[in-house]
């Protein structure tokens, strides 16, 4: 085992993987190279600080678990870097790191691969922290599973719930400090399009300040105990203060229809539609924001999801949500708000292809929807009612420069915008790209449009604005 501790800035270059390792007096932490603990990796590589080249077996069957566990055990209480050089590390159980600041680092996605075997007793990496000063980072690495039916596997869990201050209203200590970073992480199955997969990708528990960047996933069905199949992408749950659940690239596979829909913890499934293979079953949401604790503000940017009931579901005591450049395709509802404290909601430059409604804004205060394309999904059943933006029990609504279209064949009952029990609304500069049944529908006399101008819509229009 080699550990480094330097007083001055030093950069070492590992020529085998073109990797520069820099440490300074401000970041003097040991690097625990799993190779040094006797682990073997499929492929060739070298590690920072290790002079000799690593010639590991390439059969992909050698169990690397004991060596990786030994490297984890060698992490000092002050923290360190757990480094996986280029290669494939076959694992047979989950890896747990408790109360140690750690950086889990590889040479890059698809270069450093942790692969859990189909016979593993448990799956994934779990990191927990009890210090508000501890930061967890995971980057440039891949998590694979061989399991055909992974029913209890979350690839990466970061649990910071022990940092909650009991005497501070059950909020995290020093909430503005960075908690965790997950960057350039690839999570996937190895058994083909419908061979296996993870139940969850990334689970963040009680982490308010988190960076998640360039998370890639290639999902496949995981057969759950109830017998349904679900294919889902990278998932993030942040529970507590508040709860934020994120699943990217959510897919599903067809299964039997009728009767009660299957349910399991954290997921409620619904029947959607797919023009190629008929009705499908999929997960409940792409992004779920549940402000069960202190009101907070959430920013979501450049998110993408498919085949889920809600693209973004907002509940609880959320104070404000901003969504920018989102793509929600084949969702039942794009964005849904059902809250108790009238949050602010801003949605811009987003693309929503839904089955029943693009946006359902219930109980908002200051709603701003700008520059969005909202259309009824092409595989929507004939006659299925659709509302592009459905606003109710809301005050201060600005809908500007949005585009609406119905791509169903034949077209269903399409209302672009509907208001119920609303006040102070402005609808300007919106366009219907295809004929719709009606542009705006003001359901009750309480609601009124204070500003309605420069809207363009072709076809049969029943405009009650």
Q: Do 146 and 263 belong together in one domain?
A: no
| Pairing assessment for the beta strands 263-264 and 10-14 based on DSSP bridges | unpaired
* pLDDT tens for each residue of 373-414: 998 887 776 677 889 999 998 889 999 999 998 877 666 678
Q: Do 197 and 289 belong together in one domain?
A: no
Q: Do 203 and 281 belong together in one domain?
A: no
Q: What does the pLDDT read at residue 343?
A: 81
Decide if 80 is inside a domain.
Answer: yes
Q: Into how many domains does the chain fold?
A: 2
Decide if 17 is inside a domain.
Answer: no
Q: In sequence order, what are the residues at sequence separation of 6 or more whose Cβ sits closer than 8 angstroms to the Cβ of residue 364?
A: 337, 339, 342, 343, 344, 345, 391, 394, 395, 397
Tell me which of 377 and 3 has the higher pLDDT: 377
Q: In sequence order, what are the residues at sequence separation of 6 or more whose Cβ sits closer than 8 angstroms to the Cβ of residue 264?
A: 224, 225, 226
Most confident of 32-46, 155-169, 401-415, 430-444: 430-444
Confidence check: pLDDT of 6 > 70: no
Tokens of 443: 């359901």
Confidence check: pLDDT of 222 > 80: no
Decide if 20 is inside a domain.
Answer: no
Q: Do 337 and 430 belong together in one domain?
A: yes
**CATH number of the structural domain spanning residue 68:** 2.160.20.10
Q: Which domain holds residue 442?
A: 225-243+254-465
Lowest-pLDDT range, 174-183, 288-297, 345-354? Answer: 288-297
Tokens of 240: 């507590």
Q: Where are the beta strands (DSSP E) in 292-350?
A: 297-301, 304-306, 308-316, 320-324, 327-339, 344-348
Q: Do 287 and 264 belong together in one domain?
A: yes
Decide if 323 is inside a domain.
Answer: yes
Tokens of 110: 């698809």
* pLDDT tens for each residue of 114-151: 999 888 888 899 998 877 667 788 989 988 888 765 45
pTM of this prediction exceeds 0.95: no
Tell me which of 222 and 323 has the higher pLDDT: 323
Tell me which of 327 and 246 has the higher pLDDT: 327
Confidence check: pLDDT of 252 > 80: no
Decide if 406 is inside a domain.
Answer: yes
Q: Do 208 and 238 belong together in one domain?
A: no
Q: Do 183 and 234 belong together in one domain?
A: no
Confidence check: pLDDT of 347 > 80: yes
Decide if 4 is inside a domain.
Answer: no
Distance CA 358, CA 430 (A): 15
- Decide if 89 contacts 34 (C-beta within 8 A): yes
Confidence check: pLDDT of 152 > 70: no
DSSP state of 183: E
Q: Do 212 and 231 belong together in one domain?
A: no
Q: Do 152 and 234 belong together in one domain?
A: no
For residue 134, how far is the Cα from the chain centroid?
23
Give the pLDDT band of residue 29 (cuts 50, 70, 90).
low
For residue 188, the surrounding DSSP H or E stretch is strand 180-189
Give SS3 for 169: coil
Q: Do 175 and 279 belong together in one domain?
A: no
Q: Do 261 and 193 belong together in one domain?
A: no
Contacts 24+ apart (CB under 8 A), 168-173: 169/294, 170/240, 170/241, 170/293, 171/241, 171/293, 171/294, 172/132, 172/206, 172/207, 172/208, 172/241, 173/132
Decide if 25 is inside a domain.
Answer: no
Q: Based on C-alpha coordinates, what's the Rg of the chain?
A: 25
- Angle at CA of residue 213, ends 187 and 196, nearest 5°: 15
Tokens of 4: 């480094």
Decide if 302 is inside a domain.
Answer: yes
- Decide if 289 contacts 314 (C-beta within 8 A): yes
């Amino acid at each position: 085992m080699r550990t480094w501790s330097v007083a001055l800035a030093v950069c070492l270059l590992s020529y085998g993987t073109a990797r520069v390792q820099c440490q300074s007096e401000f970041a003097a932490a040991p690097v625990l190279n799993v190779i040094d603990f006797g682990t073997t990796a499929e492929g060739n590589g070298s590690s920072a600080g290790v002079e000799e080249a690593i010639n590991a077996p390439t059969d992909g069957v050698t169990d690397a678990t004991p060596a990786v566990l030994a490297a984890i055990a060698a992490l000092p209480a002050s923290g360190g870097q757990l480094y996986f050089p280029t290669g494939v590390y076959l694992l047979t159980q989950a890896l747990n790191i408790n109360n140690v600041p750690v950086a889990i680092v590889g040479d890059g996605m698809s270069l450093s691969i942790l692969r859990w075997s189909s016979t593993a007793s448990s799956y994934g990496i779990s990191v927990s922290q009890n210090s508000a000063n501890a930061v967890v980072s995971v980057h440039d690495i891949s998590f694979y599973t061989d399991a055909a039916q992974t029913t209890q596997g979350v690839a990466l869990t970061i649990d910071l719930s022990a940092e909650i201050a009991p005497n501070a209203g059950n909020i995290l200590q020093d909430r503005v400090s960075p908690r965790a970073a997950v960057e350039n992480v690839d999570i996937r199955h190895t058994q083909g399009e419908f061979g296996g997969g993870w139940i969850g990708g990334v689970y963040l528990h009680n982490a308010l300040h988190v960076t998640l960047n360039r998370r890639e996933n290639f999902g496949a069905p995981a057969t759950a105990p109830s017998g349904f199949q679900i294919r889902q992408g990278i998932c993030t749950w942040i529970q507590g203060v508040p709860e934020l659940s994120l699943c990217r690239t959510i897919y599903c596979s067809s299964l039997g229809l009728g009767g009660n829909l299957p349910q399991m913890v954290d997921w409620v499934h619904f029947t959607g539609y797919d023009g190629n293979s008929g009705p499908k079953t999929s997960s409940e949401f792409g992004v779920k924001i549940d402000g069960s604790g202190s009101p907070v503000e959430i920013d979501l940017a450049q998110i993408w999801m498919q085949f889920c009931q809600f693209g973004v579901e907002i509940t609880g005591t959320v104070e404000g949500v901003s969504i920018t450049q989102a793509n929600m395709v084949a969702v039942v509802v794009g964005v849904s708000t059902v809250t108790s404290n009238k949050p602010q909601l801003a949605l811009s430059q987003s693309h929503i292809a839904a089955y029943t409604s693009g946006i359902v804004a219930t109980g908002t205060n200051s709603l701003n929807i700008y520059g969005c394309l909202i259309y009824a999904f092409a595989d929507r059943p004939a006659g299925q009612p659709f509302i592009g933006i459905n606003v109710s029990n809301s005050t201060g609504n600005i809908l500007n420069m949005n585009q609406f279209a119905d791509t169903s064949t034949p077209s269903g009952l399409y209302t672009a915008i509907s208001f119920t029990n609303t006040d102070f609304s402005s609808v300007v500069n919106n366009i219907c790209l295809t004929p719709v049944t009606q542009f705006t529908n003001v359901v009750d006399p309480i609601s009124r449009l204070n500003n309605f101008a420069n809207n363009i819509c072709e076809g049969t229009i029943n405009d009650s604005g």
